[in-house]
Amino acid sequence: MITPEKTLLLIIDVQGRLAKAVFQPEVVEKNINKLLRACMILDMPVLVTEQYPKGLGRTVDSLLELMPGNLPVEKISFSCCGSLGFMSQLRSFNRNDILVAGIETHVCVYQTAVELLEFGCNVHLVTDCVSSRTEENKLLGIRCIEKAGASLTSTEMAVFELLRVAEGERFKAISTIVKE
């Protein structure tokens, strides 16, 4: 089971033109937005990456606005783990459970998930927070990530697992977000 004290949210490459070109872009962005807001209420660290931002653009504004001061880690390797800056930040948080969201499922998300698993992390793929340009590639990526050893979850499933109880201010705030 994931807990706020041991879990980190990783948002991979939700950038400019690419974010608009994936399968069901509005749904994916809305779900990542909900997950990000819930994780912030739970005081969980968030890592954001950008694949070659000069060519693909910056992280979409709706997500950046929620994280003032949280600068995305730029990378050129498909796997986030190929970036020394990313690995340094990841290690600094000392979290072993990684909630993974982002694009594209069959490329950067897949390669990152597999390498995180190889490093001994517990990867929890948030399936309604990932996508690819085609539905087929999204589904293939999810299957391959699960086969590699990751757990599958959804925005609501992860958030309520992190909460554990239906009481208090955090529950009220997160319930409001989930209902949006």
Active-site residue list: 13, 75, 108
SS (H, E, C) the chain: CCCCCCEEEEEECCEHHHHHHCCCHHHHHHHHHHHHHHHHHCCCCEEEEEECHHHHCCECHHHHCCCCCCCCEEECCCCHHHCHHHHHHHHHHCCCEEEEEEECHHHHHHHHHHHHHHCCCEEEEEEEEEECCCHHHHHHHHHHHHHHCCEEECHHHHHHHHHCCCCHHHHHHHHHHHHC
